[in-house]
Amino acid sequence: HSRQMAESQQTTLLLVANQQIAIIAPAVEGGYAKPEHAQLLAAWQRYRYELTQVPEKTGWPDAPQWPTEPDKVI
């Protein structure tokens, strides 16, 4: 049961990360993103990667150690 909850939470967090990356990436690639958003893109990409590593850390699935979420663009 706790594994299902942890996996569900991971899926939700990954969806949020994907949404933020989808908003920022085209602006960065197009060269019209604000400088702070270019930095945020890297932060969100790292966060998304770190989310995928959580099941390998101590505490999974009963007490997952989620990484800190970066600031959202919207």
Give pLDDT tens digits for 1-42.
899 999 999 999 999 999 999 999 999 999 999 999 999 999
pLDDT of 74 reads 81
In this structure, is residue 39 part of a structural domain? Answer: yes
68 falls within a domain: no
- Note whether 41 and 28 are within 8 A (CB): yes
The answer as to whether 62 is a domain residue is no
Instruction: Write down the pLDDT at residue 1.
Output: 84
The number of domains in the chain is 1
Q: What is the pLDDT of residue 39?
A: 95
Question: Which residue is listed with tokens 């800190």?
Answer: 68
The confidence score (pLDDT) of residue 62 equals: 96
Mean pLDDT of 48-60: 97
Q: Is residue 21 part of a domain?
A: yes
Q: Does residue 64 form part of some domain?
A: no
Structure tokens, 55: 């099941």
Residue 74: inside a domain: no
- On whether residue 46 sits in a domain, the answer given is yes
Question: What is the residue range of 50's domain?
Answer: 2-56
pLDDT at 58: 95
Task: Please state the pTM of the whole predicted model.
Answer: 0.93
- Which residues have C-beta within 8 Å of that of residue 66, sequence separation ≥ 6? 9, 13, 51, 54
Residue 34 lies in a domain: yes
